[in-house]
Amino acid sequence: MVDALNKQLNAECYASYLYLAMSAHFETTNLRGFASWMRVQSGEETKHAMRFYNYIVDSDERVKLAQIQQPPTEWRSALAVLEDAYKHEKKVTSLIHELVSLSVTEKDYTTHEMLQWFVKEQVEEEKSTNDIVQDIKRVGDVSTGLLILDRELAKRKVET
């Protein structure tokens, strides 16, 4: 179980790195609201990674950090970025579900309980990214509507 938790810790670090790369992409395309939203998302993914890190440490197990895969750095459009973000969240959901299944198989009920927070969180993560995908599809990828959406996304702040 601890190996699987360490693997998920790495996946959460990658998610943070991916969203940071998406933020950098939006900075270069002058969509600062999208960039800000992605930076906040990157920070959330770092918090998720730290939840796994702390759980492993608190369980008196060993954290084993692995190399983080390099994320893409360029996309053809804002829609492509958000579609990738949505696909990524769906992938993370499947990874969390695999961990839940493993915790049941291993009869590791403490880990199973800890993972329930992530199960619920992934519903929110998928919804928030898919909502933006649908908004972009409604307004178009190069339009005044996209600029209005950019301003709206700029309002997202880091939760304390």
pLDDT per position in the chain (160 positions), as tens? 999 999 999 999 999 999 999 999 999 999 999 999 999 999 999 999 999 999 999 999 999 999 999 999 999 999 999 999 999 999 999 999 999 999 999 999 999 999 999 999 999 999 999 999 999 999 886 688 888 899 999 888 766 4
* pLDDT for the residue 28: 96
Cα separation, 80 vs 91, whole angstroms: 16
- Say if residue 37 is exposed, middle or buried (CB neighbours under 10 Å; 0-12, 13-18, 19+): buried
**DSSP state letter for 142:** S
Q: Report the amino acid identity of residue 20.
A: L
Single pTM value for the model: 0.93
* pLDDT for the residue 120: 98
42: Cβ contacts below 8 Å, ≥ 6 apart: 16, 17, 19, 20, 23
Three-state SS string over 47-80 comes to HHHHHHHHHHHHCCCCCCCCCCCCCCCCCCCHHH
Domains and CATH numbers, the chain: 2-153 (1.20.1260.10)
Asked whether the beta carbons of 154 and 37 are under 8 A apart, the reply is yes
List the structure tokens of 16. Answer: 């943070």
* pLDDT for the residue 158: 64
45: Cβ contacts below 8 Å, ≥ 6 apart: 12, 13, 15, 16, 18, 19
* pLDDT for the residue 140: 80
Placement of tokens 């190399």 in the chain: 67
